[in-house]
Amino acid sequence: MKDILVFISDQHSWQQQGYAGDPIVRTPNLDRLAAEGTVMHNNCTSYPLCVPARMSMMSGQLASRCGVMSNMAALDSNRVTFAHCLNAGGYETVLCGRMHFVGPDQRHGFSARIAGEQTPIFHNRPNEAFARERGVHDRTPQGGPSCLSIIGAGNSPTLEYDRYVVNQALEYLKADHDRPQFLCVGTYGPHHPFVAPKELYEYYYDRVSVPEASFAYPEHPAIEGAILCDKDPEVVRAVRAAYYGMVEFEDQQIGLVYDAFQEYLKRTGHEGIFVYVSDHGEQAGYRGYYGKSTFYDPSVHTPMIFVGDGIQKGRALQGATSLMDLGPTLCQIAGASPLPDADGVSLYPQLRGEPEDLKRMVISEAGGDIGFKSKAFSYGQMVKTGPYKFIHYHGYDDQDVMFDLEKDPEESQNVIQDHRQLADQMREYLAKSCLSADRIRENAEKLDQNLKILGRCDFDSEERWHAPECARNYPEHMVSSRLTRS
Protein backbone atom coordinates (compact mmCIF):
# COMPACT_ATOMS: atom_id res chain seq x y z
CA MET A 1 0.00 0.00 0.00
CA LYS A 2 1.33 3.38 -1.00
CA ASP A 3 1.51 6.28 1.45
CA ILE A 4 -0.43 9.26 0.10
CA LEU A 5 -0.01 12.96 0.82
CA VAL A 6 -2.44 15.55 -0.56
CA PHE A 7 -1.53 19.22 -0.31
CA ILE A 8 -4.63 21.38 -0.83
CA SER A 9 -4.34 25.15 -1.00
CA ASP A 10 -7.19 27.66 -1.16
CA GLN A 11 -7.96 29.92 -4.11
CA HIS A 12 -5.02 29.16 -6.42
CA SER A 13 -5.74 29.73 -10.11
CA TRP A 14 -4.19 27.56 -12.78
CA GLN A 15 -2.76 30.59 -14.59
CA GLN A 16 -0.43 31.60 -11.76
CA GLN A 17 2.08 28.76 -12.22
CA GLY A 18 5.34 28.73 -14.11
CA TYR A 19 4.73 25.41 -15.88
CA ALA A 20 1.28 26.67 -16.91
CA GLY A 21 2.93 29.42 -18.93
CA ASP A 22 2.95 32.41 -16.61
CA PRO A 23 6.13 34.32 -17.46
CA ILE A 24 6.30 36.23 -14.17
CA VAL A 25 5.40 33.99 -11.25
CA ARG A 26 8.18 31.98 -9.60
CA THR A 27 6.91 28.49 -8.73
CA PRO A 28 10.00 26.25 -8.91
CA ASN A 29 8.49 23.57 -6.69
CA LEU A 30 5.26 23.25 -8.65
CA ASP A 31 7.30 23.26 -11.84
CA ARG A 32 9.38 20.43 -10.37
CA LEU A 33 6.25 18.44 -9.51
CA ALA A 34 4.94 18.94 -13.04
CA ALA A 35 8.21 17.62 -14.48
CA GLU A 36 8.29 14.64 -12.12
CA GLY A 37 4.62 13.67 -12.41
CA THR A 38 1.40 14.06 -14.38
CA VAL A 39 -0.49 17.34 -14.70
CA MET A 40 -4.19 17.84 -15.45
CA HIS A 41 -4.04 20.80 -17.82
CA ASN A 42 -7.79 21.35 -17.91
CA ASN A 43 -8.89 20.65 -14.36
CA CYS A 44 -12.02 22.43 -13.12
CA THR A 45 -13.42 22.98 -9.68
CA SER A 46 -16.89 21.55 -9.21
CA TYR A 47 -18.01 24.74 -7.46
CA PRO A 48 -16.03 28.03 -7.27
CA LEU A 49 -16.54 28.56 -3.54
CA CYS A 50 -14.69 27.03 -0.58
CA VAL A 51 -17.09 24.79 1.34
CA PRO A 52 -19.15 23.46 -1.61
CA ALA A 53 -15.98 22.75 -3.60
CA ARG A 54 -14.36 20.87 -0.74
CA MET A 55 -17.43 18.86 0.22
CA SER A 56 -17.95 17.99 -3.42
CA MET A 57 -14.31 16.89 -3.54
CA MET A 58 -14.61 14.81 -0.36
CA SER A 59 -17.82 13.09 -1.48
CA GLY A 60 -16.96 12.87 -5.17
CA GLN A 61 -20.39 14.29 -5.95
CA LEU A 62 -21.68 17.52 -7.44
CA ALA A 63 -22.46 20.15 -4.82
CA SER A 64 -26.17 19.93 -5.66
CA ARG A 65 -26.13 16.16 -5.11
CA CYS A 66 -24.09 16.10 -1.89
CA GLY A 67 -26.30 18.89 -0.53
CA VAL A 68 -23.66 21.57 0.12
CA MET A 69 -24.19 24.73 -1.95
CA SER A 70 -23.22 27.38 0.57
CA ASN A 71 -20.31 28.22 2.85
CA MET A 72 -22.84 27.84 5.66
CA ALA A 73 -23.85 24.28 4.80
CA ALA A 74 -22.63 21.08 6.47
CA LEU A 75 -21.97 17.75 4.80
CA ASP A 76 -24.19 14.92 6.05
CA SER A 77 -22.15 12.74 8.42
CA ASN A 78 -23.83 9.67 6.93
CA ARG A 79 -22.34 10.45 3.54
CA VAL A 80 -19.19 8.49 2.75
CA THR A 81 -16.09 10.50 1.82
CA PHE A 82 -12.90 9.24 0.27
CA ALA A 83 -11.30 9.60 3.72
CA HIS A 84 -13.80 7.03 5.03
CA CYS A 85 -12.90 4.70 2.16
CA LEU A 86 -9.18 5.01 2.81
CA ASN A 87 -9.62 4.55 6.55
CA ALA A 88 -11.78 1.46 6.06
CA GLY A 89 -9.09 0.19 3.70
CA GLY A 90 -6.45 0.26 6.42
CA TYR A 91 -5.07 3.80 6.17
CA GLU A 92 -4.43 6.17 9.03
CA THR A 93 -6.23 9.25 7.72
CA VAL A 94 -4.68 12.42 9.14
CA LEU A 95 -5.90 15.98 8.55
CA CYS A 96 -3.25 18.65 9.04
CA GLY A 97 -4.90 22.05 8.83
CA ARG A 98 -7.76 23.27 6.75
CA MET A 99 -10.67 21.49 5.12
CA HIS A 100 -13.43 23.96 6.02
CA PHE A 101 -15.82 21.42 7.49
CA VAL A 102 -18.90 23.15 8.92
CA GLY A 103 -20.64 21.84 12.03
CA PRO A 104 -19.77 19.48 14.88
CA ASP A 105 -18.38 16.75 12.60
CA GLN A 106 -14.88 18.02 11.91
CA ARG A 107 -13.53 14.70 10.64
CA HIS A 108 -15.76 13.12 7.95
CA GLY A 109 -13.46 10.09 7.72
CA PHE A 110 -10.24 11.52 9.13
CA SER A 111 -9.05 9.51 12.12
CA ALA A 112 -6.90 12.32 13.53
CA ARG A 113 -6.28 16.03 13.19
CA ILE A 114 -2.83 17.45 13.95
CA ALA A 115 -3.41 21.12 13.05
CA GLY A 116 -6.58 23.07 13.69
CA GLU A 117 -8.96 24.87 11.35
CA GLN A 118 -8.40 28.50 10.37
CA THR A 119 -11.94 29.60 9.57
CA PRO A 120 -15.04 29.46 11.79
CA ILE A 121 -16.20 25.91 12.36
CA PHE A 122 -19.87 26.46 13.22
CA HIS A 123 -22.68 28.32 11.45
CA ASN A 124 -22.44 31.33 13.76
CA ARG A 125 -19.40 32.69 11.85
CA PRO A 126 -17.04 35.11 13.62
CA ASN A 127 -18.35 36.39 16.90
CA GLU A 128 -16.71 39.39 18.58
CA ALA A 129 -14.00 37.36 20.29
CA PHE A 130 -13.17 35.51 17.10
CA ALA A 131 -12.95 38.80 15.21
CA ARG A 132 -10.57 40.28 17.77
CA GLU A 133 -8.35 37.22 17.51
CA ARG A 134 -8.08 37.55 13.75
CA GLY A 135 -7.46 41.30 13.75
CA VAL A 136 -10.75 41.79 11.92
CA HIS A 137 -12.35 45.22 12.02
CA ASP A 138 -15.74 44.30 10.64
CA ARG A 139 -17.90 41.22 10.10
CA THR A 140 -15.87 39.23 7.63
CA PRO A 141 -12.88 37.08 8.51
CA GLN A 142 -9.50 38.14 7.19
CA GLY A 143 -9.98 41.77 6.43
CA GLY A 144 -13.09 43.83 7.06
CA PRO A 145 -16.06 44.60 4.83
CA SER A 146 -14.43 43.33 1.62
CA CYS A 147 -11.33 41.55 0.40
CA LEU A 148 -10.03 44.93 -0.82
CA SER A 149 -9.95 46.35 2.69
CA ILE A 150 -6.33 45.35 3.14
CA ILE A 151 -3.79 45.15 0.32
CA GLY A 152 -0.05 45.27 0.67
CA ALA A 153 3.07 43.81 2.21
CA GLY A 154 3.75 42.35 5.63
CA ASN A 155 2.32 39.58 7.76
CA SER A 156 -1.22 38.25 8.08
CA PRO A 157 -3.20 35.46 9.75
CA THR A 158 -3.12 33.59 6.43
CA LEU A 159 0.67 33.56 6.24
CA GLU A 160 1.04 32.69 9.92
CA TYR A 161 -1.53 29.91 9.66
CA ASP A 162 0.17 28.34 6.68
CA ARG A 163 3.53 28.40 8.44
CA TYR A 164 1.89 26.68 11.42
CA VAL A 165 0.23 23.99 9.28
CA VAL A 166 3.40 23.22 7.35
CA ASN A 167 5.47 23.03 10.54
CA GLN A 168 2.98 20.53 11.99
CA ALA A 169 3.20 18.46 8.83
CA LEU A 170 7.01 18.50 8.90
CA GLU A 171 7.02 17.36 12.52
CA TYR A 172 4.59 14.54 11.72
CA LEU A 173 6.77 13.33 8.84
CA LYS A 174 9.83 13.19 11.09
CA ALA A 175 8.27 10.24 12.94
CA ASP A 176 7.79 6.72 11.61
CA HIS A 177 4.23 5.42 11.42
CA ASP A 178 3.22 1.78 11.35
CA ARG A 179 0.02 2.02 9.33
CA PRO A 180 -0.17 3.21 5.71
CA GLN A 181 -0.52 6.97 5.79
CA PHE A 182 -2.98 9.33 4.15
CA LEU A 183 -1.91 12.82 5.19
CA CYS A 184 -3.91 15.82 3.95
CA VAL A 185 -2.13 19.16 4.41
CA GLY A 186 -4.57 22.07 4.06
CA THR A 187 -3.34 25.66 3.89
CA TYR A 188 -5.32 28.90 3.60
CA GLY A 189 -3.22 30.77 1.03
CA PRO A 190 -3.26 32.23 -1.49
CA HIS A 191 -6.74 33.20 -0.29
CA HIS A 192 -7.10 36.89 0.60
CA PRO A 193 -6.34 39.11 2.52
CA PHE A 194 -4.08 40.29 -0.27
CA VAL A 195 -0.98 40.58 1.90
CA ALA A 196 2.31 39.05 0.83
CA PRO A 197 5.71 39.03 2.50
CA LYS A 198 7.39 42.37 1.87
CA GLU A 199 10.12 41.14 -0.45
CA LEU A 200 7.65 39.20 -2.60
CA TYR A 201 5.11 42.03 -2.82
CA GLU A 202 7.78 44.48 -3.89
CA TYR A 203 9.29 42.00 -6.37
CA TYR A 204 5.99 41.57 -8.21
CA TYR A 205 4.60 45.09 -7.97
CA ASP A 206 6.36 46.44 -11.07
CA ARG A 207 6.24 43.12 -12.92
CA VAL A 208 2.55 42.17 -12.87
CA SER A 209 0.30 43.26 -15.71
CA VAL A 210 -3.05 45.00 -15.32
CA PRO A 211 -5.60 43.21 -17.57
CA GLU A 212 -7.31 46.42 -18.66
CA ALA A 213 -8.70 44.95 -21.88
CA SER A 214 -10.79 42.54 -19.79
CA PHE A 215 -12.53 45.43 -18.02
CA ALA A 216 -14.64 46.02 -21.13
CA TYR A 217 -15.70 42.40 -21.71
CA PRO A 218 -19.48 41.80 -21.56
CA GLU A 219 -20.84 40.97 -18.11
CA HIS A 220 -23.47 38.27 -17.77
CA PRO A 221 -26.63 39.84 -16.28
CA ALA A 222 -26.96 36.98 -13.78
CA ILE A 223 -23.82 38.11 -11.94
CA GLU A 224 -24.09 41.84 -12.56
CA GLY A 225 -23.63 43.57 -9.22
CA ALA A 226 -23.16 40.24 -7.43
CA ILE A 227 -19.36 40.01 -7.75
CA LEU A 228 -17.04 42.51 -6.10
CA CYS A 229 -15.77 44.79 -8.87
CA ASP A 230 -13.14 47.53 -8.84
CA LYS A 231 -11.37 48.49 -12.07
CA ASP A 232 -9.03 51.08 -10.58
CA PRO A 233 -5.65 50.12 -12.13
CA GLU A 234 -3.85 50.96 -8.89
CA VAL A 235 -6.06 48.56 -6.96
CA VAL A 236 -5.69 45.84 -9.58
CA ARG A 237 -1.89 46.14 -9.66
CA ALA A 238 -1.59 46.03 -5.87
CA VAL A 239 -3.92 43.02 -5.59
CA ARG A 240 -2.07 41.14 -8.28
CA ALA A 241 1.32 41.93 -6.74
CA ALA A 242 0.13 40.57 -3.40
CA TYR A 243 -1.57 37.56 -4.98
CA TYR A 244 1.51 36.61 -7.00
CA GLY A 245 3.61 36.99 -3.86
CA MET A 246 1.23 34.74 -1.94
CA VAL A 247 1.39 32.12 -4.71
CA GLU A 248 5.19 32.11 -4.49
CA PHE A 249 4.94 31.82 -0.70
CA GLU A 250 2.63 28.79 -1.12
CA ASP A 251 5.07 27.27 -3.59
CA GLN A 252 7.75 27.49 -0.92
CA GLN A 253 5.50 25.68 1.57
CA ILE A 254 4.67 22.98 -1.00
CA GLY A 255 8.37 22.42 -1.55
CA LEU A 256 9.04 22.00 2.16
CA VAL A 257 6.28 19.40 2.53
CA TYR A 258 7.17 17.55 -0.66
CA ASP A 259 10.82 17.24 0.33
CA ALA A 260 9.88 16.05 3.83
CA PHE A 261 7.53 13.45 2.34
CA GLN A 262 10.26 12.18 0.03
CA GLU A 263 12.61 11.90 2.99
CA TYR A 264 9.91 10.01 4.93
CA LEU A 265 9.47 7.54 2.06
CA LYS A 266 13.22 7.06 1.69
CA ARG A 267 13.66 6.50 5.44
CA THR A 268 10.79 4.02 5.74
CA GLY A 269 11.25 2.29 2.40
CA HIS A 270 7.63 2.95 1.48
CA GLU A 271 6.18 3.78 -1.90
CA GLY A 272 4.19 7.00 -2.06
CA ILE A 273 2.05 9.42 -4.04
CA PHE A 274 2.07 13.21 -3.65
CA VAL A 275 -0.86 15.29 -4.93
CA TYR A 276 -1.29 19.04 -5.24
CA VAL A 277 -4.73 20.58 -5.76
CA SER A 278 -6.57 23.80 -4.97
CA ASP A 279 -10.28 24.10 -4.30
CA HIS A 280 -10.96 26.95 -6.77
CA GLY A 281 -9.28 29.99 -8.29
CA GLU A 282 -9.15 33.75 -7.82
CA GLN A 283 -10.20 36.50 -10.26
CA ALA A 284 -7.37 38.79 -9.02
CA GLY A 285 -8.69 41.79 -10.93
CA TYR A 286 -9.50 40.00 -14.19
CA ARG A 287 -12.60 41.78 -15.56
CA GLY A 288 -12.26 43.94 -12.46
CA TYR A 289 -13.51 41.05 -10.29
CA TYR A 290 -12.05 39.69 -7.04
CA GLY A 291 -12.61 36.40 -5.28
CA LYS A 292 -14.32 33.55 -7.06
CA SER A 293 -17.96 32.45 -7.70
CA THR A 294 -17.77 33.00 -11.47
CA PHE A 295 -17.29 30.50 -14.27
CA TYR A 296 -14.48 32.51 -15.86
CA ASP A 297 -11.17 30.73 -16.17
CA PRO A 298 -9.35 32.42 -13.26
CA SER A 299 -12.13 31.25 -10.94
CA VAL A 300 -12.77 27.67 -12.12
CA HIS A 301 -9.54 26.46 -13.74
CA THR A 302 -7.37 24.97 -11.00
CA PRO A 303 -4.14 22.95 -10.55
CA MET A 304 -4.05 19.18 -10.09
CA ILE A 305 -0.74 17.30 -10.11
CA PHE A 306 0.06 13.69 -9.18
CA VAL A 307 3.65 12.59 -8.52
CA GLY A 308 5.05 9.30 -7.27
CA ASP A 309 5.42 5.56 -7.72
CA GLY A 310 3.61 4.30 -10.78
CA ILE A 311 2.73 7.81 -12.02
CA GLN A 312 3.99 8.78 -15.46
CA LYS A 313 6.63 11.51 -15.43
CA GLY A 314 6.32 14.66 -17.48
CA ARG A 315 2.84 13.86 -18.81
CA ALA A 316 0.13 16.49 -19.29
CA LEU A 317 -3.47 15.30 -19.63
CA GLN A 318 -5.35 17.66 -21.93
CA GLY A 319 -8.92 16.40 -21.47
CA ALA A 320 -11.33 17.98 -19.01
CA THR A 321 -11.00 16.71 -15.44
CA SER A 322 -12.70 17.67 -12.18
CA LEU A 323 -11.86 18.25 -8.54
CA MET A 324 -14.42 15.46 -7.94
CA ASP A 325 -11.98 13.02 -9.57
CA LEU A 326 -9.55 13.24 -6.66
CA GLY A 327 -11.45 10.85 -4.37
CA PRO A 328 -12.12 8.07 -6.90
CA THR A 329 -8.49 8.29 -8.03
CA LEU A 330 -7.09 8.02 -4.50
CA CYS A 331 -9.41 5.12 -3.69
CA GLN A 332 -8.16 3.17 -6.71
CA ILE A 333 -4.51 4.00 -5.94
CA ALA A 334 -5.04 2.74 -2.38
CA GLY A 335 -6.97 -0.36 -3.39
CA ALA A 336 -9.83 0.85 -1.19
CA SER A 337 -13.58 0.61 -1.73
CA PRO A 338 -14.73 3.06 -4.40
CA LEU A 339 -16.74 6.11 -3.44
CA PRO A 340 -20.44 5.22 -3.72
CA ASP A 341 -22.53 7.03 -6.34
CA ALA A 342 -19.69 9.36 -7.34
CA ASP A 343 -19.86 11.90 -10.15
CA GLY A 344 -16.08 12.04 -10.38
CA VAL A 345 -14.06 9.28 -12.03
CA SER A 346 -10.73 7.67 -11.28
CA LEU A 347 -7.84 9.10 -13.27
CA TYR A 348 -5.46 6.35 -12.13
CA PRO A 349 -5.49 4.52 -15.50
CA GLN A 350 -4.45 7.73 -17.25
CA LEU A 351 -1.84 8.45 -14.58
CA ARG A 352 -0.29 5.09 -15.47
CA GLY A 353 -0.28 5.81 -19.21
CA GLU A 354 -3.65 4.79 -20.62
CA PRO A 355 -5.33 7.05 -23.21
CA GLU A 356 -7.59 9.84 -21.96
CA ASP A 357 -11.12 10.80 -22.99
CA LEU A 358 -10.66 14.11 -24.78
CA LYS A 359 -14.43 14.49 -25.26
CA ARG A 360 -15.35 14.09 -21.60
CA MET A 361 -17.72 16.70 -20.12
CA VAL A 362 -17.25 18.05 -16.59
CA ILE A 363 -19.62 20.26 -14.62
CA SER A 364 -19.22 23.17 -12.25
CA GLU A 365 -22.06 24.79 -10.32
CA ALA A 366 -22.46 28.13 -8.54
CA GLY A 367 -25.21 29.67 -6.44
CA GLY A 368 -27.96 27.33 -5.45
CA ASP A 369 -28.41 29.19 -2.19
CA ILE A 370 -30.35 32.15 -0.83
CA GLY A 371 -28.25 35.32 -1.05
CA PHE A 372 -27.36 36.86 2.32
CA LYS A 373 -28.04 40.44 1.22
CA SER A 374 -30.65 40.13 -1.51
CA LYS A 375 -32.38 37.01 -0.11
CA ALA A 376 -32.79 36.04 -3.76
CA PHE A 377 -32.19 32.60 -5.23
CA SER A 378 -29.66 32.12 -8.01
CA TYR A 379 -28.16 29.06 -9.66
CA GLY A 380 -25.63 28.68 -12.43
CA GLN A 381 -24.04 25.79 -14.28
CA MET A 382 -20.98 25.33 -16.46
CA VAL A 383 -19.94 22.47 -18.72
CA LYS A 384 -16.40 22.08 -20.06
CA THR A 385 -15.42 19.74 -22.87
CA GLY A 386 -12.37 20.02 -25.07
CA PRO A 387 -11.80 23.72 -25.82
CA TYR A 388 -15.45 24.64 -25.23
CA LYS A 389 -17.08 26.06 -22.13
CA PHE A 390 -20.87 26.45 -21.83
CA ILE A 391 -22.47 28.64 -19.14
CA HIS A 392 -26.13 28.71 -18.13
CA TYR A 393 -27.92 30.58 -15.35
CA HIS A 394 -31.39 29.68 -14.09
CA GLY A 395 -33.88 32.26 -15.29
CA TYR A 396 -31.65 33.44 -18.13
CA ASP A 397 -32.38 30.74 -20.70
CA ASP A 398 -32.01 33.08 -23.66
CA GLN A 399 -28.60 34.35 -22.51
CA ASP A 400 -26.53 31.16 -22.49
CA VAL A 401 -22.86 31.63 -23.29
CA MET A 402 -20.22 29.48 -24.97
CA PHE A 403 -16.52 30.22 -25.25
CA ASP A 404 -13.92 28.59 -27.49
CA LEU A 405 -10.92 28.74 -25.16
CA GLU A 406 -8.52 27.57 -27.85
CA LYS A 407 -9.26 30.56 -30.08
CA ASP A 408 -10.36 32.95 -27.32
CA PRO A 409 -8.58 32.19 -24.03
CA GLU A 410 -9.71 35.58 -22.69
CA GLU A 411 -13.37 34.47 -22.92
CA SER A 412 -14.37 37.68 -24.66
CA GLN A 413 -16.60 36.36 -27.46
CA ASN A 414 -19.82 34.34 -27.11
CA VAL A 415 -19.79 31.77 -29.94
CA ILE A 416 -22.90 29.81 -29.00
CA GLN A 417 -24.62 30.64 -32.30
CA ASP A 418 -21.87 28.73 -34.09
CA HIS A 419 -22.24 25.61 -31.92
CA ARG A 420 -25.96 25.11 -31.34
CA GLN A 421 -25.80 21.31 -31.48
CA LEU A 422 -23.00 21.11 -28.93
CA ALA A 423 -24.86 23.56 -26.67
CA ASP A 424 -27.93 21.30 -26.80
CA GLN A 425 -25.79 18.28 -25.87
CA MET A 426 -24.39 20.18 -22.92
CA ARG A 427 -27.88 21.18 -21.75
CA GLU A 428 -28.94 17.54 -21.93
CA TYR A 429 -25.89 16.50 -19.92
CA LEU A 430 -26.72 19.07 -17.22
CA ALA A 431 -30.36 17.93 -17.09
CA LYS A 432 -29.41 14.29 -16.46
CA SER A 433 -26.50 15.04 -14.07
CA CYS A 434 -27.78 17.79 -11.74
CA LEU A 435 -30.80 18.20 -9.52
CA SER A 436 -33.55 20.36 -10.95
CA ALA A 437 -33.47 24.08 -10.18
CA ASP A 438 -36.78 23.70 -8.30
CA ARG A 439 -35.29 21.00 -6.06
CA ILE A 440 -32.17 23.10 -5.46
CA ARG A 441 -34.32 26.12 -4.56
CA GLU A 442 -36.32 23.99 -2.11
CA ASN A 443 -33.11 22.82 -0.41
CA ALA A 444 -31.83 26.41 -0.27
CA GLU A 445 -35.01 27.61 1.41
CA LYS A 446 -34.75 24.85 4.02
CA LEU A 447 -31.16 25.79 4.81
CA ASP A 448 -32.11 29.46 5.04
CA GLN A 449 -34.78 28.62 7.62
CA ASN A 450 -32.42 26.45 9.65
CA LEU A 451 -29.71 29.12 9.65
CA LYS A 452 -32.03 31.50 11.47
CA ILE A 453 -31.41 29.31 14.53
CA LEU A 454 -27.98 27.83 13.78
CA GLY A 455 -26.51 31.26 13.15
CA ARG A 456 -27.40 32.44 16.66
CA CYS A 457 -25.54 29.61 18.39
CA ASP A 458 -22.25 30.35 20.15
CA PHE A 459 -20.53 27.00 19.77
CA ASP A 460 -16.78 26.80 19.37
CA SER A 461 -14.28 23.97 19.05
CA GLU A 462 -10.79 23.14 20.20
CA GLU A 463 -10.08 22.01 16.64
CA ARG A 464 -9.91 25.67 15.62
CA TRP A 465 -6.54 27.38 15.30
CA HIS A 466 -5.93 30.34 17.58
CA ALA A 467 -3.92 33.09 15.92
CA PRO A 468 -0.67 34.12 17.65
CA GLU A 469 -0.23 37.71 18.73
CA CYS A 470 2.11 38.49 15.82
CA ALA A 471 -0.74 37.83 13.35
CA ARG A 472 -3.37 39.97 15.08
CA ASN A 473 -4.14 43.57 14.17
CA TYR A 474 -1.97 42.96 11.16
CA PRO A 475 -2.83 46.16 9.22
CA GLU A 476 -0.95 48.14 11.88
CA HIS A 477 1.92 45.66 11.86
CA MET A 478 2.42 45.61 8.12
CA VAL A 479 6.04 46.18 7.15
CA SER A 480 5.24 48.14 4.00
CA SER A 481 2.22 48.95 1.88
CA ARG A 482 1.86 50.46 -1.55
CA LEU A 483 -1.88 50.60 -1.01
CA THR A 484 -4.01 50.16 2.09
CA ARG A 485 -7.76 50.66 1.82
CA SER A 486 -9.86 50.63 4.97
pLDDT tens string 443-455 = 999 999 999 998 8
Enumerate the β-bridge partners of residue 393: 380
pLDDT digits (tens, 9 = 90+) for 41-86: 999 999 999 999 999 999 999 999 999 999 999 999 999 999 999 9
**Alpha-carbon span 122 to 100, nearest angstrom:** 10
Check whether the bond before 190 is cis (ω within 30° of 0).
yes
In this prediction, residue 477 carries a pLDDT of 41
What average pLDDT does range 365-375 have in this prediction?
Answer: 79
Q: Quick check: 476 pLDDT over 90?
A: no
Reference 31, options 43, 18, 15; nearest CA is 18
**Under 8 Å CB-to-CB from 193, ≥6 apart: which residues?**
142, 143, 147, 149, 150, 151, 156, 157, 158, 474
Burial of 163 (0-12, 13-18, 19+ CB in 10 A): middle
Max alpha carbon distance in the chain (Å)? 60
Name the pairing type of β-strands 194-196 and 377-385: unpaired
φ, ψ of residue 291 in degrees (nearest 5):
85, -145
Q: Per-residue pLDDT tens for 386-405?
A: 999 999 999 999 999 999 99
Contacts of 78 (CB under 8 A, 6+ apart): none
* Model pLDDT, residue 140: 43
User: What is the pLDDT, as a whole number, of residue 146?
Assistant: 76
DSSP-derived pairing of the beta strands 315-322 and 38-44: parallel
- Mean pLDDT along residues 26-53: 98
- Least Cα distance to 38 among 327, 313, 273, 348 occurs for 313
Q: Which residues contact 335 (CB under 8 A, 6 or more apart)?
A: 1, 89
Average pLDDT score, the chain: 91
- pLDDT for 370: 81
Query: How far is it, in rounded angstroms, from Cα 181 to Cα 184?
Result: 10
Please, which pLDDT band fits residue 135 given cuts at 50, 70 and 90? low
What's the sign of the alpha-carbon dihedral 287, 292, 295, 297? positive
Closest CA to 69 of 437, 406, 352: 437
User: How does pLDDT run across 206-247, given as a tens digit for each residue?
Assistant: 999 999 999 999 989 999 888 889 999 999 999 999 999 999
Task: Return d(Cα 451, Cα 465) in angstroms, integer.
Answer: 24
